[in-house]
Amino acid sequence: MPERRVTTAPYLALLLCGSVLYAVGQTAVPATFTIGGFQVGPLLLLLSAAAAVVLWVPSRGDGEWRGIERAWFALVMVLWLYLVTIESGGGGQTLAAVLVPLSVVLIWLKRPRQSDVWIAFDAFAWTVVAGAGIVLLLEAVGAIPSWYPRLAGVSTAFDGLAQYDRDTHWLPLGELLGLEGRWGGFLNDPNLIGPLGGLLVVYAFARTGARRVVFAAAGAAMLVLADSRASYAAVAVGLAALLLLPGWGVPILRLTTAKAVAAVLGAAAGVRVLADVVASPAGALSMTGRTTMWPDFLSLWPESPWWGVGTARITEAVTQGILPPWSYNGHNQHIDMLVRYGVIGLALGAAVLVLALAVTIGGARRGLGVGVAIMATIAVISVANIVLDWRYPSVAFSVLLATVALSATQQRS
């Protein structure tokens, strides 16, 4: 009698979902409420990681990773080690940082089947939908505050931001639900929850049935509530890429209902961006002021061009008025990496993304195009937002891990 295989899906799902559970716990539960000295968010993250390890032990991997995939895992580990070393000088660390190498090592040592990755990726998507729904409901009924009060303690420069957002953004769902302005979701920032909604929309069209409908609808709602213009552009690009890539189960040129809906949503996202360009050409060209922000942030780079100045120095520069209040990050993934972690950090981060893209291109050649579409979406988002802090298990890192694993594995009958 053949030995029964213990699936890798549960441990992988817990690794992916931990970052979402953490963020929802931090947002939905007051910080004063603790269990055994732990706030709910960190406790959920710790428990999900511990459960993942327990479930990993009896699970059985499925073959070996290819050389390029092993190189990707190794490079992520090198990048993580470099960043925590740079930040050890005063940028601050938390225990959660160790969960990045833990996740990488567990997946590296036991390669999941593609069917297991689909299950885990779906579990992550369902957790995002549920978490977003819980936080939206709590905020709509006034049980938890919006993200704006958090900025009030940072600088008076953010006073009136909610009113400014209401005046300059299209927020039909927010007005209907009585929200203060743009929705920050369980990530407490519309420029983070909007991109996550966009990634959910792109992933939705790689699935079938009710999952496709729910994921696409939830992702679109997150996009509209956050009204992140970069996220709209990213969705337009991501869905266009998905339409041109294999993985639909039919010839590329054959039109189906799913393809038609994806095309309509992608076009609608593009029109939303175009409407802003027409309404404010100067604002569009400056990416809502980001192109004028970047030189300010880059002014710190000469202090340590190779190794970076680190988070502590950036915070100090903002506190001292050397940098404006918004400059706690560079509003561009690669500019932020350059200033914070230097040429070496930027090169390592770029190499990780390039290798991930190479892995997803390999997946597309084997008939699965969603990985390339997700990478295209992340690339556009990264131009205007910071979505990846490579030190910590973020939702964007979960998406990247799942995307690489999905593209690298083979479908089995």
Domain range for 311 is 9-408
Q: How confident is the model at residue 156 (pLDDT cuts 50, 70, 90)?
A: low
Q: Do the domain assignments include residue 81? A: yes
pLDDT at position 92 is: 54
Q: Report if residue 1 sits inside a domain.
A: no
How would residue 411 be classed by pLDDT, with cut points 50, 70 and 90? low
Whether residue 4 is contained in a domain is answered as: no
**Average pLDDT of the chain, as a whole number:** 92
- Asked whether residue 204 is assigned to any structural domain, the reply reads yes
Q: What average pLDDT score do residues 343-366 get?
A: 97
Instruction: Quickly tell me which residue has 């009896």 as its tokens.
Output: 58
Instruction: Specify whether the CB–CB gap between 365 and 410 falls below 8 A.
Output: no
Asked whether residue 413 is assigned to any structural domain, the reply reads no
Tens digit of pLDDT for each residue in 205-250?
Answer: 999 999 999 999 999 999 999 999 999 999 999 999 999 999 998 8
- pLDDT, mean of residues 340-365: 97
Question: How many CA atoms within 13 Å lie on the side-chain side of 66?
Answer: 15
Q: For residue 131, is pLDDT > 60?
A: yes
Alpha helices in 110-208 (DSSP H): 114-140, 148-152, 161-168, 172-177, 190-204
Q: Which residue has the higher pLDDT, 95 or 124?
A: 124
Q: For residue range 5-16, what is the model confidence (pLDDT) as tens digits?
A: 689 999 999 999
**HSE-up (13 A, CA, CB side) for residue 83:** 28
Q: What is the mean pLDDT of residues 133-161?
A: 85
Of the candidates 223, 221, 220, 225, the residue with the CA atom closest to the CA atom of residue 171? 225
Query: How many separate domains does the chain show?
Result: 1
What pLDDT is stored for residue 137 in this prediction? 97
- pLDDT at site 36: 86
Phi, then psi, of 308 in degrees rounded to 5: 90, 160
Predicted TM-score (pTM) above 0.75: yes
